[in-house]
Amino acid sequence: MVDRTGPVPAPLMAAGDDTFRVPLRATPAMLRASIAGLRMPVFAPARRAADLVDLARFDPALVLDIRYATARNFLGFPVYPAARAFLQRPAARALSHARGLAARHGYGLLVYDAYRPWHVSALFRHAVPESLYDFVGDPAHGSRHNRGCAVDLTLWDLTTRQVVPMPSGFDEMTPRAHVGYVGGSARARGCRDLLATIMQASGFEPLAEEWWHFDFRDWRDYAVMDLSFDEIGRTLTP
């Protein structure tokens, strides 16, 4: 166990850009236009009211690298107006628990994405070829990210401040991202499996195709949402 008494330092971010990118089915402007007129389907009513929290405030020891607020994502252009991350409060508590478990192993959590508005999921689906549909939630059903109940993340080493190696990059839409992928280095597979163990012990379920994606176990209780980050910001309670 690594003893941490002072403030947690941030991980060192790689200087280059080795982000996985998909061949887009249209230009960014065309994609934005194609989803502008879409209406979110009417989904079954939720059992629990939304209670989103801002992860940066809820647990400042979580480190954020919100890729969809940058061009360092599979689309190659930003789709979020700000590098913010929100989760439903019980999911945020579970993530904080995971962060504590990771620290016992000498690691921090680096969050790539959390709540995602429905329109952004619709844009993802319009952007990628059908062969990659397994990697992007279907807007006809709503992604668990749209419910504020999914998180994409990795581990970073609290001592070296390096983001750990994983069998694939974040959002790399290839078999290397599968949780059962047997290739790559033993260290990378070990880090992937440790992340899964920590997240499952904290109340999250893994996704077979993506080592970085975890669903909070109570996701079914929450509604699919299309609130913008600004709208959420106005409704947050401490």
Ligand X SMILES: C[C@@H](N)C(=O)N[C@H](C)C(=O)O
Binding site for ligand X (CB under 6 A): 113, 121, 124, 135-137, 143-145, 150, 152, 171, 210, 213
- Phi, psi at residue 165, to the nearest 5°? -70, 145
Residue nearest to ligand X (CB): 137
C-alpha span between 46 and 148 (Å, rounded): 13
C-alpha span between 32 and 26 (Å, rounded): 10
Q: How many Cα atoms within 13 Å fall on the side-chain side of residue 147?
A: 27
* Closest CB to Zn ion among residues 36, 112: 112
152 assigned to a ligand binding site: yes
205 catalytic per annotation? no
The CB-of-159 to ligand X minimum distance in angstroms stands at: 28
Residue 54 interacts with Zn ion (CB under 5 A): yes or no: no
The token pair that represents 121 in the structure block: 């999921």
C-alpha span between 216 and 204 (Å, rounded): 4
105 assigned to a ligand binding site: no
Please tell me what DSSP assigns to residue 147: G
The CB-of-151 to Zn ion minimum distance in angstroms stands at: 7
Binding residues for Zn ion, total number by CB under 5 A: 2
Residue 213 interacts with Zn ion (CB under 5 A): yes or no: yes
Q: Which of 130, 205, 210, 231 is catalytic?
A: 210
* Closest CB to ligand X among residues 103, 210: 210
Nearest to 139 by CA among 227, 31, 40: 40
147 binds, among Zn ion, ligand X, none (CB under 5 to 8 A by kind): none
Whether the CB-CB separation of 176 and 188 falls below 8 Å is answered with no
Supply angle C-alpha 90, 169, 172, rounded to 5: 90
Residue 125 interacts with Zn ion (CB under 5 A): yes or no: no
The stretch near Zn ion (CB under 5 A) out of 33-41, 48-56, 102-110, 208-216 is 208-216
Which residue bears the tokens 């059962």? Answer: 180
* Closest CB to ligand X among residues 58, 212: 212
The stretch near Zn ion (CB under 5 A) out of 20-28, 44-52, 152-160, 215-223 is 152-160
C-alpha span between 1 and 88 (Å, rounded): 29
Contacts with Zn ion by CB under 5 A lie at: 152, 213
Q: Which residues are catalytic?
A: 210
